[in-house]
Amino acid sequence: MKSEKKYFKNKNTKNSAIAENLVFVRTKKALGQNFLKSEPALRKIIEAGEIKSDDVILEIGPGKGKLTEKLLEKAGLVIAVEKDRELFEFLKIKFKKEIKANTLILVCGDILNFNTNAYSLKPSAYKVIANIPYNITGAILKKFLTAKNQPASMVLMVQHEVAKRILASDKKESILSISVKAYGEPKMIMKVPARYFSPAPKVDSAIIVIKNISRKIFKENEVAEDRFWKIVKTGFAHKRKKLSSNLKILLKDKDYGGIAFVNSLGNKRAEDLSLLDWISLAKQ
């Protein structure tokens, strides 16, 4: 994908001198920048977020601020984290009034290094709503779903194929789908064609929402997270092998159920087990 050069005139400030300035922004492929330009898709993201007037929203990669504008109309506070320095400078001008009014906190940095504690984001007291860089989708999901202070929900724009994998649309589970379902309830809101972005990516996208994020399933079943994930990761180590073959390595550890644990799996493969099946295995 080739870089595009864009020039923006700021319309959101009363300072005429600044308003006449043109801010130069180069679309950077390395940062996974594809700016959403579809109003219907933006509305669907906002609807899926079920935003209240006192909500705190964490936005990842605000880009040109299209989604940010709509979030600011609904939420009490938006914290927007932008890695691109040029876009950050542009956003500072575009949202000068909102930043001054303390309804927007603009942060220049990498979301994967973002410290939620530094902004007093307490468990279930904020929502993540974003058109995220697709090259770090997995890392973003892991960071927030497994955080001590998990968000209440997440609304994300992801690649359509990734959305289908998360939902296991083909009835075949993966580490990705189990990882999301272990902490929340995923749902696809809508498919978003590539033409709705600038520059247009090579693949279609989709809006997903993950609701009711928590560690409830581990607590209710009295299953330790580290034990659960050791079994899941070992089970998916070789996708084409039977699950019993993959898990034989755990036979050396008496804490994982011994031979009865493995023999109970029959000819199943890791992709054949639901989240509750994995929980049951972890309880043995």
Residues annotated within a binding site: 34, 36, 61, 82, 110, 131
Tokens of 209: 């929402």
Query: By the 8 A CB rule, do 77 and 103 touch?
Result: yes
Nearest Cα to Cα of residue 41 among 155, 161, 177: 155
Long-range contacts of 177-182 (CB under 8 A, 24+ apart): 178/232, 178/275, 178/278, 179/141, 179/142, 179/145, 180/141, 180/145, 180/210, 181/275, 182/145, 182/217, 182/218, 182/228, 182/275
Biggest alpha carbon–alpha carbon distance for the chain: 76
Helices (H) and strands (E) in the chain, counts: 13, 11
Query: By the 8 A CB rule, do 203 and 194 touch?
Result: yes
Q: Provide the 8-state DSSP code for 21.
A: -
Q: Is 89 exposed, middle or buried (0-12, 13-18, 19+ CB in 10 A)?
A: middle
Alpha helices by DSSP H, the chain: 16-19, 39-49, 66-74, 85-94, 96-100, 137-145, 160-167, 175-181, 216-221, 225-235, 243-246, 258-263, 275-283
**Sole residue written with tokens 């898990």:** 247
Query: By the 8 A CB rule, do 64 and 199 touch?
Result: no
Known binding residues for S-adenosyl-L-methionine are: 34, 36, 61, 82, 110, 131
Helix axes 275-283, 225-235, angle to 10 degrees: 120
